[in-house]
Amino acid sequence: MPDQKQLVLPFNLVKRHLRSVESRITQQAEQFDPEVREYLSYILHTSGKRLRPALVLLTGGATGGIDPHHLNLAVIIELIHLATLVHDDIIDEAGTRRGQPTPNAKWGNATTVLLGDSLFSHALRLSTRFDDSDVCRRIADATCDVCGGEIIQTKRRGDWSVTHQEYSRIIEMKTGSLFIIASELSARLNKADEARVEACAEYGRKLGAAYQIYDDCLDMAGTEETAGKTLRTDLYKGKLTLPLLKLLETSNDIEHAQIVRLLEDSTPESVAELVRRTVRGGHVKAAIQEAADLVNEAQQKISVLEDSDYSQAMRNIGETLLQMLDKLER
Ligand code: IPE
Ligand code: IPE
Ligand code: MG
Ligand code: MG
């Protein structure tokens, strides 16, 4: 399994709850027809970093306590995340995820699209259990935003005029949305006041953006052994990432034309050359700095929360992300 797993875990405080979330996630396969169950069982047993469930639990602890509603929310958000990954791996034609063959590699795209749909629908089915229908609505909104972000990104593939602002909007939609609801709704379930709920939402927004930038740098400069997933798909698929955006922004007309040609070639050689140019030009480093700034902003947002081991752990997630960024090739 990926080394990063060891890294992303200042989660000791919620270890027991995370175990409970884990078993609830794997149990969800039982809710499906036996013939569907075998596929979903495979997907639900792959173990990711469970970052979003941890965010739900830590925010819960920091805003009044963790109760069964938080466990339910953690399961739902992880299922939505899984659904997006299942679909994303089809889009990217990725063969490995979480150190194992992707569903599309095992069973083809037709079955896999439907498995992703089943995970989305099941997550929304579970979200109807909250007494407050606003919670359910916010989960559905965030799910639409994730899909919207992926759609816009797909639409803009190969368009090298995407601006930093547009890039930021895409990552906030596709990745930020689930980080936002993880923290915001966890606080809302505890009936925290609006200022705290809003602070948690903003924390999630900043942390989510930083995390996607980290992931973009990983795609550019990481190794598949460490990441446990197929990398460089952003380059092969013409997805704009922050390091690449910075490479394009700082190139003159001749270099710009060369870079676009390399991107259009989309061969192992052209991709290797793009990685070389991006890393040597200091663009991964510049993107890492931007992510670090977002982490700091995220940490500041939660200064309104009472000091506790939980709010400290929320800040520690930021520290761990900074360490992960630091370990990347630059
Ligand atoms: C991967 O998310 C997709 C992104 C939004 C960057 P994670 O890195 O949280 O994936 P898992 O859940 O640990 O596999
Ligand atoms: C994140 O984007 C996917 C979603 C948020 C749906 P990526 O395409 O960067 O995720 P990985 O790198 O495949 O995990
Ligand atoms: Mg992908
Ligand atoms: Mg990625």
Torsion angle (degrees, nearest 10) of CA 261, 152, 228, 118: -140
**How many other CB atoms are there within 10 angstroms of residue 257's CB atom?**
11
Please report the atom of ligand 1 found closest to the CA of residue 178.
5
- The Å distance, Cα 230 to ligand 1 centre, comes to 12
Exposure letters 132-152 (e unless 16+ CB within 10 A, then b)? eeebbebbeebbebbbebbee
Q: How many CB atoms lie within 10 A of CB 308?
A: 14
33 CA distance to ligand 1 middle (Å): 28
Phi/psi region, residue 228 (left: phi>0; alpha: psi -120 to 50; beta: rest), is left
CB-CB neighbours of 7 under 10 Å: 15
Q: Which atom of ligand 1 is nearest to the CA of 52?
A: 9
Contacts of 152 (CB under 8 A, 6+ apart): 169, 170, 173
pLDDT for 208 equals 98
d(CA 6, ligand 1 centre) in Å: 14
Helices (H), the chain: 4-7, 15-27, 34-45, 51-62, 68-91, 103-107, 109-127, 133-155, 164-171, 177-189, 194-221, 224-227, 233-236, 242-249, 253-265, 268-280, 283-301, 309-327
What pLDDT does 330 receive?
64
The pick from 5, 9, 79, 81 for probing ligand 1's pocket by mutation, whose C-beta has the most ligand atoms within 8 angstroms, reads 81
Query: Cα(49) to centroid of ligand 1, in Å?
Result: 7
Flag residues of the chain having pLDDT under 50: 1-8
Q: At what angle do helices 68-91 and 51-62 cross, to 10 degrees?
A: 150
pTM for this predicted structure: 0.95
Using CA positions, which residue lies closest to atom 14 of ligand 2? 85
**Pocket-testing residue among 4, 49, 88, 229, ligand 2, by greatest number of atoms within 8 A of Cβ:** 88
The ligand 2 atom at the shortest distance from the C-alpha of residue 212 is 9
Query: For 64, which DSSP code?
Result: T
SS3 (DSSP) at 96: strand
| Cβ of 87 less than 6 Å from ligand 2 | no
